A = this chain, B = another copy of it.
Amino acid sequence: MSIDRRRLIIDAAAKSFALFGYKGTTMDQVAKIANVGKGTIYTFFSNKEELFQEIMNRLIGEMKRVAEEVVDPGRKFFDNLNLVLDQLLDFREEHELAIKLSQEVKEIGTQMAQDGIYQIEKAVVGYIQQQVQAAVDKGEIKPCDPKMTAFVMLKLFMALTADWKKSHPPLDKTRVAELLRFYLQEGLAPD
């Protein structure tokens, strides 16, 4: 059996997108890294956009897998939430692609990169939404719109991890977890 060219192409593309972003990745380069003729790419993917989509789907799939690995239905909702968000953040930091895409959106505003980030966000919200629904069913948290709640959780998490450090010393994981709990779980109303 000959080498799996599709696999070679996907690996090369993943590497290149992560290293140079969407715009910075050329089909010639992918072909070169994959040790494959440029035409071969087009027998598996009809264009650059579709190739990028494949890489994004794999990334999101892997994120889901990583998250699921850490969730324990026996644990409390907020404990799981913190673990998952941490895991995702670590994963995201590890995985250069997400970072590179964020950079690209900020620096040159590449549409495709923005779409990529949006896809990741959507997947994360979708995942949290499931967890919220389960927690509501178990009576662990109040009845609420799971989608909206998931959205609020992600935004708050991002505000505490990403936005805050734009003008303050960054918060460590423990503190972020504390704050998430403080604001969302207990609320500000006095006892």
Contact = CB atoms under 8 A, between A and B. Distances in A.
A188 B156 contact: no
- Describe A's contact surface by its main secondary structure: helix
B186 A149 contact: no
Contact of A186 (B152, B179, B187): B187
Interface string A153-191: 001100110011001000000000001001111111111
A189 B179 contact: no
Report copies per complex.
2
Interface residues of A, number: 31
Contacts of A189: 141-142, 185-187
Nearest to A184: B188
Contact of A156 (B141, B155, B186): B155
A187 B190 contact: no
Interface string A111-154: 00000001000100000000000000001111010001101100
24 contacts: A118-B167, A141-B188, A141-B189, A142-B186, A142-B188, A144-B182, A149-B188, A151-B159, A152-B160, A152-B183, A155-B155, A155-B163, A156-B156, A159-B159, A183-B183, A183-B184, A183-B187, A184-B187, A184-B188, A185-B188, A185-B189, A186-B189, A187-B188, A187-B189
